Amino acid sequence: MGQNSAAEPRIQQPGEVIAPEVSQSDVTKAAEEIYGLQIISCRQLNGYDDKNYHLVTSGVTSNPHLSAPAPEGYVLKIINSMDTQRPEILYAQVAFMKHLSARGIGVQEPLPDKNGDPVAFYTFPSPDGKGEGRRHAVCLRSFMPGKILADVTLTPDLCYQVGQFLGKMSAALQYDFDHRFYDIFDCLWSMNNISKLGEFTARCRGPTGSTPGGGGHCRVQSMCAAKRGEIRQGFVHGDPNEQNILVIVKDRDSQLPPSVDHTEYVISGILDYQDVARTHPLYDLAMCIAYVMLTATTFDPLEVGGHILAGYTSQLALPALERALLKTTVASRLAQSLVLGAYTHSLDPPTTTSSQRRRADGPFCVRCGPRLHRKLDSRWSTIEASYDR
pLDDT tens-digit profile of 248-280?
A: 998 755 555 544 445 589 999 999 999 999 999
Domain for residue 86, yes or no? yes
More confident site: 354 or 51: 51
More confident site: 2 or 349: 349
Say if CB 341 and CB 361 are below 8 A apart.
Answer: yes
Encode burial over 298-333: b for 16+ CB neighbours within 10 A, e otherwise: eeebbbbbbbbbbbbbebbebeeebbebbbbbbbbb
d(CA 221, CA 215): 11
Closest CA to 301 of 383, 244, 225: 383
pLDDT tier at 226, thresholds 50, 70, 90:
low
Give burial (CB, 10 Å; 0-12/13-18/19+) of 257.
exposed
pLDDT digit string (tens) for 122-150? 999 987 777 788 999 999 999 999 999 99
Question: Residue 93 — φ and ψ, nearest 5°?
Answer: -65, -40
User: Do 123 and 195 have their domain in common?
Assistant: no
Say if CB 68 and CB 37 are below 8 A apart.
Answer: no
Domain for residue 10, yes or no? no
Which residues span the domain enclosing 362?
147-252+263-347+357-388
Domain for residue 4, yes or no? no
User: Do 34 and 167 have their domain in common?
Assistant: no
Say if CB 239 and CB 275 are below 8 A apart.
Answer: yes
CATH code for position 312: 3.90.1200.10
Domain for residue 8, yes or no? no
CATH code for position 61: 3.30.200.20
Q: Given this model, what pLDDT does residue 359 score?
A: 43
pLDDT tier at 378, thresholds 50, 70, 90:
confident
Pairing mode of beta strands 265-270, 234-236? unpaired
Q: Given this model, what pLDDT does residue 252 score?
A: 56
More confident site: 129 or 202: 129
User: Do 134 and 73 have their domain in common?
Assistant: yes
Give every CB contact of residue 44 below 8 A, 6+ residues apart in sequence: 24, 51, 52, 53, 54
User: Do 268 and 332 have their domain in common?
Assistant: yes
Give every CB contact of residue 263 below 8 A, 6+ residues apart in sequence: 155, 157, 158, 161, 250
- Among 94, 124, 142, the domain-final residue is 142
User: Do 97 and 187 have their domain in common?
Assistant: no
- Among 79, 112, 142, the domain-final residue is 142
Say if CB 53 and CB 37 are below 8 A apart.
Answer: no
Average pLDDT in the chain = 83
Domain for residue 13, yes or no? no
Q: Given this model, what pLDDT does residue 208 score?
A: 46
Say if CB 380 and CB 301 are below 8 A apart.
Answer: no
The share of the chain scoring above pLDDT 90, in percent, equals 58
CA distances from 229 to 187, 190, 279, 281, 320 (A): 20, 17, 11, 13, 15
User: Do 117 and 53 have their domain in common?
Assistant: yes
d(CA 265, CA 346): 35
d(CA 268, CA 309): 19
User: Do 128 and 160 have their domain in common?
Assistant: no
Asked whether the predicted pLDDT for residue 366 surpasses 50, the reply is no
User: Do 94 and 153 have their domain in common?
Assistant: no
Domain for residue 5, yes or no? no
Question: Residue 41 — φ and ψ, nearest 5°?
Answer: -145, 155
Instruction: Specify the number of domains making up the chain.
Output: 2
- Give pTM, 2 decimals: 0.85
Domain for residue 116, yes or no? yes
Q: Given this model, what pLDDT does residue 315 score?
A: 96
Lowest-pLDDT choice from 193-197, 214-218, 299-303: 214-218
User: Do 137 and 202 have their domain in common?
Assistant: no
Q: In the sheet that 245-249 helps form, which strands lie side by side, from edge to edge?
A: 147-148, 245-249, 265-270
